[in-house]
Structure 1
Amino acid sequence: MLETNRISELLESYIEYKHSLGFEIKQEISVLRNFQRYTLEKDYTGALTKNIVLEWISSGNQKYKTMGRKIEVLRPFMKYSSFFDSKTEVIYGNIYPNVHARPVPYIISEHETLLLMEECKNLYSPDGIRSQTIKTVIGLLWSTGLRPSEATQLKIQDVDTTNNLIHIKNTKYNSERKIPIDPTVSIEIEKYKDFIFKKIGYKLENDPLFYTTGGKALSQQSMAYAFKIIRKCLNAHPLGYDHVRLYDFRHTMACRTIKKWLLNKENVNNSLFILSVYMGHKKPEDTYWYLSATPELLNIATEKYEEYFGGFDYE
């Protein structure tokens, strides 16, 4: 296996360039590193060509959406590399269809959430930290709709349990926001902090809030792996993807909130703007999408429309 090659050198330069512009590109780097590793393991020393890219893409998950997303990550890197290596080739077209098609979100019920939290007891957790942490994070995701990455990146100082606020930093779009939380959430966070303090102790307010086995800070990858194990307790069959995802907690909270507004005959248009800010959406349409995200919400919204404007007369 090679230690480096032309693609590796270009990749290091590309990552440094993106960082200099203020982009973290954490998820993109993960994909790019996988591609880099593939070329090194093949002892590939050639240029960044369409063939080597498509060969790597076809070696993994064969779903169009997955393969299309990989190309979208590699395309900016290919464009960048083309300025420094004339043999670089760029894939411009959308080879795979429906790359950005949104699947119907799976709405996780309160009962299913409790099942998942109970299942945490069966996780391998020699000191008990992992089980308690995953259980607490699941409860937090259910109640707040945070992105999984936002939850795992929380510091102690980010959660104000006195005023029931969470300060979310380093978000998907490099912005930050403060969101209110229910007092019961603050109580559970304080219980968790007491548990961790007795296990490993906290040092600074800037320390991570969540930990796993041995006092190691909980990463998004560790959280995702634990969820992959415990979700087997659910008899769930999502539409458009294979398994329930951590991100479905976020969709669930949004749909649950909108459903409540619709049933209470509140002004949903005005409230959706508030929800958009709360969730940290960059575009309002990302929030409006939830109105038609599930058959139940779409039916309720349609019924409310007909109540207000009257039914349709097709005769």
Structure 2
Amino acid sequence: MSALREQAEDYLAMRRALGFKLTTWGDKLLSFVGYLESTGASVITTEAAVAWATSTPRASTDPVHWARRMDVVRIFARHLKVLDPATEVPPEDVLSHRYRRITPYLYSPAEITGLLQAAGRLAPQLRAETWQTVLGLLAVTGLRVSEACRLDRDDVDLRSGVLTVRDSKFGKSRDVPVHESTAVALRRYDRLRDHLCPATVVPSFFVSTCGTRLDAANMPADFAGLLKVAGIAPVPGRRRQRIHDLRHTFTVATLLEWYQAGADVQARLPLLATYLGHIDPKSTYWYLSGSPELLSLVAARLEHAFGDRDE
């Protein structure tokens, strides 16, 4: 094992011990180390970092993708420079175009109903019941798909209607209260699951037809089939709708309801951020740009506020 690889492995172990998962990040770092080893390099240089970041496995020319790869090198290089002063830390203005928000798709109530009906036609019955309940839960709580898949039975309090989301993104856990109608749907699924699959092999609340935990990584592919059955066509010039867009739809719908009711949205936003599992309200603020209707309500409120000030 080269000295660089050993240092990279130690660094990843240290970060993981601090609670960072580093799934794809770790793979990228080891890929960069492998690149250096293949060229015979024993120290990180900006030139080598640029060469690796821009020579992606699929020959991507996306500057955002390049920048994110460069960030992996830059973070590790900062750590390594303390141990080896010869290490070059790539400047911030090299491959710096690292941030881009993908415009979310907002499902209409009719489209969500169509997705639930499409899920209800799946076979066997347990698969249909599981998909219907999961989609319904995502639509009314804004949970991440991975959070729903990780729910265990002990995490779902069917009496009080509170979900405990454990060790989610950024290592945070939170309680998510749900409406009584959602609790009723979860209790129904709980009974049907035990009836249709009495011998599950995991404590997961949602299970596959084999009695195993749902795999969040496989959900998008299955969801694409439901989009077709529900007749939800792709939007020209934009990427295909995603299951994650249900989270965007929930958030925008909540904000719309607050604005239409004349609520103090700024005061409530931290509550919504906590409910969604955001580390700070800034991530939630981004949803304000997700809907023309929402933007018009924001603009109208600002106009009213400034109008009052002028008077």
TM over 0.5: yes
Identity, in percent, stands at 27
Query: Cα 1:230–1:86, aligned 2, differ >3 Å: closer, same or farther?
Result: farther
Q: 1:74 to 1:294 in 2, by over 3 A?
A: farther
1:221 partner SS: coil
What secondary structure, in the 3-state scheme, does the structure 2 residue paired with 1:216 have? coil
Does the 8 Å contact 1:50/1:89 carry over to 2? no
Equivalent position of 1:257 in the other structure: 254
Within 2, Cα distance between the matches of 1:86 and 1:229? 53
Alpha-carbon shift at residue 115 of structure 1 (Å):
2.2
Look up the match of 1:102.
Answer: 101
Q: 1:151 aligns with which of 148, 152, 156?
A: 148
Aligned residue in 2 for 1:234: 232
Q: Over residues 245-280 of structure 1, what are the superposed CA-to-partner deviations in whole Å (9 max), with x where a residue is unaligned?
A: 232211211110111111111122222222122122
| Residue deviations 1:215-264 (CA, integer Å, cap 9, x gap) | 2211220223322433344224287x512223221121111011111111
Q: For the structure 1 residues 17 and 56, does the alpha-carbon distance in structure 2 shift closer, same or farther, using more than 3 Å as the test? A: farther
2:49–2:70 Cα contact (<8 Å) kept: no
- The whole-number CA distance in structure 2 between the counterparts of 1:238 and 1:267 is 36
**1:72 positional shift:** 2.6
More displaced 10-residue stretch of structure 1: 225-234 or 46-55? 46-55
Q: Which runs of 5+ in 1 are unaligned?
A: none
Q: 1:214 to 1:298 in 2, by over 3 A?
A: same
Residue 204 of structure 2: aligned partner: 208
Cα distance between partner residues in 2 of 1:106 and 1:219: 23
Contact 1:159 1:167 in 2 (8 A): yes
2:233 counterpart letter in structure 1? N
Given that residues 200 and 212 in structure 2 are in contact (C-alpha distance below 8 angstroms), is that contact kept between their aligned partners in structure 1? no
Alignment pair present for 1:115 and 2:111: no
* Residue type of the alignment partner of 1:267: D
2:58 matched to which residue of 1? 59
Could you tell me whether the CA contact under 8 Å between 2:81 and 2:87 is conserved in 1? yes
> Aligned residue for 1:161?
158
Whether the aligned pair in 2 keeps the contact of 1:156 and 1:209 (CA below 8 Å) is: yes
Deviation at 1:170, TM superposition (A): 0.4
Cα 1:271–1:55 shift into 2, 3 Å? closer
5 Å-filtered alignment, 1:1-315, equals 9-29=6-26, 31-32=28-29, 35=31, 44=38, 46-47=40-41, 49-50=48-49, 53-57=52-56, 59-80=58-79, 90-96=89-95, 98-120=97-119, 127-201=124-198, 207-232=203-228, 233-237=231-235, 242-310=239-307
RMSD between aligned residues: 3.5
Q: Which amino acid aligns with 1:211?
A: V
Task: State the distance in 2 between where 1:225 and 1:10 align.
Answer: 37
Letter in 2 for 1:221: A
CA distance in 1, matches of 2:94, 2:209: 43
Paired with 2:268 and 2:34, the residues of 1 have a C-alpha distance of 49
Give the Å deviation of 1:116.
2.3
CA distance in 1, matches of 2:80, 2:225: 39
Aligned length in residues? 303
CA separation of 1:155/1:250 partners in 2, compared to 1, >3 Å: closer, same or farther?
A: same
